[in-house]
Amino acid sequence: TRINVTARAQAGAPAQLARSVAASLAAVDDDLAFSFRVLADDLSSSLAQERVVATLAAFFGGLALLLAGLGLYGITTSVVTARRDELGVRLALGAEPGGLMRLVVARVLRLVVTGAVVGVVASAWLTRYVAPLLFGVQPREPGIFVAGIAVLMVLGLLAAWLPASRIARIAPAEVLRNT
């Protein structure tokens, strides 16, 4: 038979308690086999699988964020390249380069905000399915939603700024010559 005994040390290290319990058990019966585990170590080993799953989820979440940023950058670059002549003509007619940059960035940020709103609504609805799997975290933590939206906004700004800064450096005379 197997018996589990839990003991809590009032003061001192758990190893001291283990020695005194071992001595008491040995005094009762020399043939008893026993082992001691610290509760923190036992808890840590029982959560190892959950840590691996959380690490994988974080990795794939980061990978998804990277792919979303690259996709947004690719689409923005494609749109800016397709509209190069139009934006060059606007520059030739007196548009400010900063105004063109704001035009491109605003369009991308509208896409990001729309995606963030849809994502927040969908995740708020889906939290009821995920809530039983969470430990020590509230499923509708506002800080997490705000942090996620902030990361997406920074990613969107970066993805829009690179092509927008290229369009601001276009030489209007070159565009007019090539059209």
Q: What's the CA gap between 170 and 172, in Å, rounded?
A: 6
Q: For all residues of the chain together, what is the average pLDDT? A: 85
Q: How confident is the model at residue 90 (pLDDT cuts 50, 70, 90)?
A: confident
Q: 137: alpha, beta or left, given left = phi > 0 and alpha = psi -120 to 50?
A: beta
114 pLDDT exceeds 90? yes
- Looking at residue 91, its pLDDT comes to 86
Q: Which residues contact 36 (CB under 8 A, 6 or more apart)?
A: 14, 18, 21, 22
72 pLDDT exceeds 80? yes
pLDDT digits (tens, 9 = 90+) for 21-44: 888 888 888 787 777 777 777 778
- Out of 10-24, 59-73, 114-128, least confident range: 10-24
pLDDT digits (tens, 9 = 90+) for 148-162: 899 999 999 999 999
Answer yes or no: are the C-beta atoms of 164 and 100 closer than 8 Å: yes
What letter does residue 2 receive in the DSSP assignment? -
Q: How confident is the model at residue 55 (pLDDT cuts 50, 70, 90)?
A: very high
Instruction: Kindly tell me the number of DSSP H helices and DSSP E strands found in the chain.
Output: 7, 0
Q: What's the CA gap between 13 and 41, in Å, rounded?
A: 14
**Paired tokens of 4:** 């589990």
**Paired tokens of 82:** 């397709």
- Looking at residue 66, its pLDDT comes to 93
